[in-house]
Amino acid sequence: MLGILTALPCHVNPKRPAFWIVKPTPAMYDPGLENCMLKLKQDRPLAVFDIEATGLNPRTDRIVELAIVLLMPDKTRKSRVFRVNPGLPIPAEATAIHGITDADVAACPPFVVIADDILRVLDGADLGGYNILRFDIPLLEEEFLRCGKAFDMNGRRIVDAQRIFHKREPRDLTAALAFYCGEMHLNAHGASADVDATIRVLEGQFERYSDLPKTLDELDEYCNPRDPGWVDKTGKLRWRQGEVVVNFGRKKDTPLRKLVAEDPGFVKWMLRSDFPRDVQDILRSAMEGKWPKPPPVAAP
């Protein structure tokens, strides 16, 4: 989620309803970008947009802020920011990323109230952004579906800066060896050659980044940061007020204890699926009435 505009509270313009901004202001964007210098031939507006949400699941999470910059064919730009009350608590981990709290959106409208206005802003525009194909567009479509609105994607062209980045700057082992060591990886995908190349890359990384951790414990934490709220290693289950809750899909935030008692079929489905071994061990123990010990509560 790429922050395009400065986050603004719902009450920015006292002459208008508390949930929208009706025209660009100096606080909304870098004045140096007032006239877009994007070297792109346009025959209609390009709506570059970004969403801040309650989480990272485009199927189940909700929008809390939507920023849109319309890049016009004449190289001028128009900006809009919408703050949205998602209708559910904003998790602390989401607030830690985008800085938006429940109090910030308490007076803002639900998505259904501003859906038509968003459709008008996006009418006839192509879409641009960063990682919008995997996150922002699916989440926006879900929000419109929930309120019975049709968001027509037919004919819209999409420009995803992340896809361009990944296509032009590959991040595979061959590219890493060239970047860090200035060497060609002539036997790519041979196991022994790949191991040798990986060691050379690590050597090059330690040489380039003097502040890299030097102990394996510290390096492990650097490469594999783990959310202390996760029960398992990948975060399929997490702690919430001392209870294990599901952290994905349609059962997200449902206590595992409740599922075991009222919907054991869901737990059995998880056991039959390809969830990681530690998740399945926790589930099997839960079905037997054995529960993991909650983490210690951090001191205030």
Label the pairing between strands 158-160 and 126-129.
parallel
Place of tokens 């991040």: 171
Q: Which of 71-85, 93-107, 195-209 has the lowest mean pLDDT?
A: 195-209
Give residue-wise pLDDT tens across range 82-99: 999 999 999 998 999 899
Mean pLDDT of the chain: 83
Question: What number is the average pLDDT over the span 206-212?
Answer: 91
Question: Cβ–Cβ contacts within 10 Å for residue 129, how many?
Answer: 26
Q: Give the residue from 26, 10, 116 showing the smallest Cα distance to 65.
A: 10
Rounded distance between C-alpha atoms, residue 124 and residue 273, angstroms:
43
Give residue-wise pLDDT tens across range 54-68: 998 888 899 999 999
CA 25 to chain CA mean position, Å: 27
2 has a pLDDT exceeding 60: no
Tell me if 53 sits within 8 A of 61, measured CB to CB: yes
Higher pLDDT, 82 or 274: 82
pLDDT at 14: 29
For the chain, which domains are there? 26-165 (3.30.420.10), 173-223 (no CATH), 237-287 (no CATH)
Dihedral sign (CA 184, 190, 193, 196): positive
- Dump the DSSP string for 238-266: EEETTEEEE-SGGGTT-BHHHHHHH-HHH
206: Cβ contacts below 8 Å, ≥ 6 apart: 212
pLDDT at 15: 30
Tell me if 18 sits within 8 A of 51, measured CB to CB: no
29 has a pLDDT exceeding 60: no
220 has a pLDDT exceeding 90: no
Q: Give the residue from 153, 80, 77 showing the smallest Cα distance to 117.
A: 80
Rounded distance between C-alpha atoms, residue 256 and residue 217, angstroms:
32
Q: Which amino acid is at 62?
A: R
3-class DSSP assignment, residue 95: helix
Higher pLDDT, 187 or 166: 166
pLDDT at 59: 82
Label the pairing between strands 63-71 and 77-83.
antiparallel
Q: Which amino acid is at 80?
A: R
Give residue-wise pLDDT tens across range 43-53: 989 999 999 99
Give residue-wise pLDDT tens across range 7-26: 333 433 323 333 333 333 33
In the structure encoding, which two tokens stand for residue 94, read together? 């989401």
297 has a pLDDT exceeding 80: no
- Which helix (H) or strand (E) is 278 found in, with range? helix 277-287
Which residues are bridge partners to 50 per DSSP?
Answer: 67
pLDDT at 37: 60
Q: Give the residue from 93, 117, 89, 115 showing the smallest Cα distance to 104.
A: 89
Question: What number is the average pLDDT over the span 164-188?
Answer: 85
Rounded distance between C-alpha atoms, residue 129 and residue 195, angstroms:
36
pLDDT at 35: 54
32 has a pLDDT exceeding 60: no
